[in-house]
Amino acid sequence: MKNRIIGGTRKPAGFVAVLSLFLALLGATPLLLADESFARSKDYDLEHSRIALRFDLEQKKVIGDVTHTLTILRDTEGITFDSAGLHIQSVTLNKAAATFETSEDKLRIALSKAAKPGEKFSVEIKYEAKPTKGLYFILPDKDYPHRPKQIWTQGESEDTRYYLPTYDYPNDRLTTETILTVPADWLTVSNGKLISVADAGSGLKTWTWRESQPSSTYLITVVAGEFAEAKDTWRSIPVDYYAPKDRGDRLAVNYSRTPAMIELFSKKLGVDYPWEKYAQSMVDDFVAGGMENSSATTNATSSLRHPTLVPEYPEDEDPLISHELAHQWFGDLVTCKDWGNIWLNEGFATFMESVWTEAHFGKDAADYDRWETSRRWFSMQSLYGKPVVRHDFDDSSEFDGNAYAKGAWVLYMLRHQLGEDAFYAGLKHYLEVNRGKNVVTADLTKAIEEATHTNVDQFFSQWIYGAGAPKLDVSYTYDETKRQVLLTVKQTQKREGYVGLFRFPVDVEITTAAGPKLYNILVSKESEGFSLPSETAPRMVLFDKGTQILKSAEFKKDKKEWLFQLKNASELGDRADAAAALGKLKNDDEAASALGEVLRSDKTDGVRFTAAKALGELGSAAASKQLLDSLSSVPQPWVRCRIVEALGNFKDDAAVKTKLEALAREDSSYRARAAALQAIGRLKTPNAYGVLTAAVNGDSPDGFLRNAALRAFGPVGDDKAVALLRDWAAAGKDMESREAAISSLARLQKDNKEITNQIAGYLSEPHFPIRLSASFALGSRGDASAIPALEALLKSNDLSIEMAPMIKGQIERLKNPKAKFRPYGQMEEEEGGAESEEASATLTEDQRLSHIEQLVEEMNDRLKSIETRLPPPPK
Ligand SMILES: [Zn+2]
């Protein structure tokens, strides 16, 4: 699945779990009841479930009648299902009434005599529930009278039991028949093939769906409501799209590349798309960014970007769409046996995003994502000491940046080291051998070895079962007499816990006047030297050419070489490295002018982004001039917004402030205007209040500029905005505008209890995004009087996916306002090291908050491939 995101200038959706990052940044360690880390021993094999559901919309109640077919696997005196908050009305065993008992999360059915392996049972359970999670009712109310009605489920990780008594752990697979009785004008979507739609009387219809290939219960889905649909096909398999009926016109513009993705993945993997159809349903208030239910993905409606804005986002929602699609193979067809191996789902899905990016948007786009991801991964320090496969996730979720980003990186390295053909031969074999099965990581290594005859045990030992990644010091000298480059490589990571020395092959390229020469070396020691031939003194030495290894490296080079590398290195990662290195040469005009040139002319967006950021970090007059000048020759909105963002670093430059105000009013790109509004907020420009107010009152697609302006009022800190923010925070306004207004409002008039109370009042609203932003806003506000409201919400057990840990983190913030607050230094650790840690210590909390916001904006836009999920709520 993919995670939702809080805040940001655009849709607060997507995936990237900024939330867990927030918690790490805030120093909050959420205490959670974790998912079961190891697979259970099974008393029975659940083979088929016939699931008939009706709904009482008034009561938000589900009325269920489920019949399970199962075979006993080991001697047992009873049959137990997971069942949380369900009111069980009756149970029959092989059609005879049975006695049963329920506890907080189990339904236990007594057998008249002990059952033996091989015995079959048909168990029918009738029940009702008002689910607090697992199944959600999105209905119009007095504040939102026109919302299309929707009912949807979210099973992963262990929430199916809140609307269906079942075996709720991944290590079992079953076929399903889902029978949904709903108002006659609704559409429904569930797993598998649509068998029939029949009149059920009283203005109702009954839809019957059948999934004939077994998958795990967390992948069961029900979506029903007032939806619009669009239809397509892939090789005659239905490819269907659903949106709330008022946004059906957005399906094609955002989703039409789906069949091309199915084709690409089928070909690359050598295993055709395995299900009978592929549906994608976009639902409001979704509790994640996306969820890969078998043959029927559910995504947040934030993926239905406004058609006017789509051209400003070249990759649009493709990372989300390709991620969930990839899960249909990795996760659904082949499923992790336990949550400790969740990277076999998430690492692969994240890796496959880059396969689509590379095929459709080009190698440079994929290279940039990978380069950026590695820097972000290193900045999330809490991940470093944890292995990718682990079973000790009591206090931090298994759905973390290791399962997603590092898992994907490891697969990328594996592809590079095995070669494309061998790598995909290994994956094909893995999918074929384990089709319809549940797996652990050893099944993958075994399949790769069988298919390629290459032993990958050492590779997996260090990258998957071990933790961390190499941190390197690299330098070189040239020996004229021996005509050799002497390259010194030191591994500086602290060897402790699961982190050891790494052993990995590295491409080193030495460029002289005669051209480049490539060498492959094997790094394996704490400190070692490599002598490489070079007829003349090198102009450039690249260590790990093209960024093929997940690592951080301090490579000591003089400016001349960085400048040469910035312009001449053939691979994106090496040029981006040079840009980042030059961004540290404060007050160096030559660096600024080289970066400006690259910003305007590099052939890749990624290097241009990095150059813009580096210019912002230089912070000099020469740097701001480069950024301002480039605005006249760079038309692409996605680059312009990076330039504008970088301008937001120039605190003392009046010309920059004036320019930002002009850009906010009239730039050709909405993204650049939104970035200007944010920068205006950070810099508190002279006319900030007026410019932001005008943007709030103006019109733009989906309130894109309004929301950016509302969010910028917080950093400005001008109390004049209180009335306007209170107004936009109120129920009835657009949800995203409310999120932005709530976040800013929390930062004004901090001793005004009325504001605290207003925000705390939003905690009891049914709208997930509003509750999420209200709780974060209260944490940032620092008014301890909000603690009881947050604690009450926490106790309500009405919390899905990301909410509980988020709220715990906020309560901790309020209880320990002096606790170490380390957003910025930590994020920039890799780039700035001790220096920026120190710098962050001198920042005010407001500045730090604004850094977090900047971070969120950046992550929203850039970090689509890193997705970490917060732990599930307490059970
Ligand atoms: Zn996923």
Q: How far apart are CA 228 and CA 137, in angstroms?
A: 18
Range in 302-311, 343-352, 630-639, 820-829 with the lowest mean pLDDT: 820-829
Query: SS3 of 592, please?
Result: helix
Per-residue pLDDT at 12: 29
Report how far ligand 1's centroid is from the alpha carbon of 228 (Å): 25
Alpha carbon of 347 to ligand 1 centroid (Å) = 8
The answer to whether 366 and 409 are in contact (CB under 8 A) is no
What spacing in Å lies between the alpha carbon of 259 and ligand 1's midpoint? 19
Of 422, 479, 416, residue with least CA distance to 448: 422
Mean pLDDT for all residues in the chain: 91
Measured in angstroms, how far is the CA atom of residue 424 from the centroid of ligand 1? 20
pLDDT at 819 over 80: no
Q: How far apart are CA 666 and CA 202, in angstroms?
A: 55
Query: How far is the centre of ligand 1, averaged over its atoms, from the C-alpha of 868 (Å)?
Result: 9
Copy the structure tokens of residue 192.
């598998």
- pLDDT tens by residue, 707-762: 999 999 999 999 999 999 999 999 999 999 999 999 999 999 999 999 999 999 99
Q: What is the pLDDT of residue 769?
A: 86
CA distances from 89 to 104, 107, 126, 496 (A): 16, 11, 5, 55
- pLDDT over 60 (residue 846): no
Report the C-alpha gap between 871 and 376 in whole angstroms: 20
Task: Return the SS3 of 602.
Answer: coil
Instruction: Give me the residue label for tokens 């982004």.
Output: 609
Q: How far is the CA of 867 from the centre of ligand 1 (A)?
A: 8
What is the average pLDDT across 164-182?
A: 98
**Residue 792 C-alpha to ligand 1 middle, in angstroms?**
31
- Taking only the tens place, the pLDDT of each residue in 135-163 is 999 999 999 999 999 999 999 999 999 99
Q: How far is the centre of ligand 1, averaged over its atoms, from the C-alpha of 326 (Å)?
A: 9
Rounded Cα gap, residues 148 and 610, in angstroms: 42
pLDDT at 14 over 90: no
Percentage of residues of the chain with pLDDT beyond 90: 85
Distance (angstroms) between ligand 1 centre and the Cα of 157 equals 11
Distance of CA 470 to the CA centre of its chain: 24
pLDDT at residue number 21: 43
**How many C-beta atoms surround the C-beta of residue 662 within 10 A?**
12
Query: How far does the centroid of ligand 1 lie from the alpha carbon of residue 614, in Å?
Result: 32
Q: In angstroms, rounded to a whole number, what is the distance separating the alpha carbons of residues 714 and 854? A: 12
Longest dimension (CA), the chain: 94
Whole-model pTM: value is 0.92
- pLDDT for the residue numbered 874: 34
The rounded Å distance from CA 349 to ligand 1 centre is 6
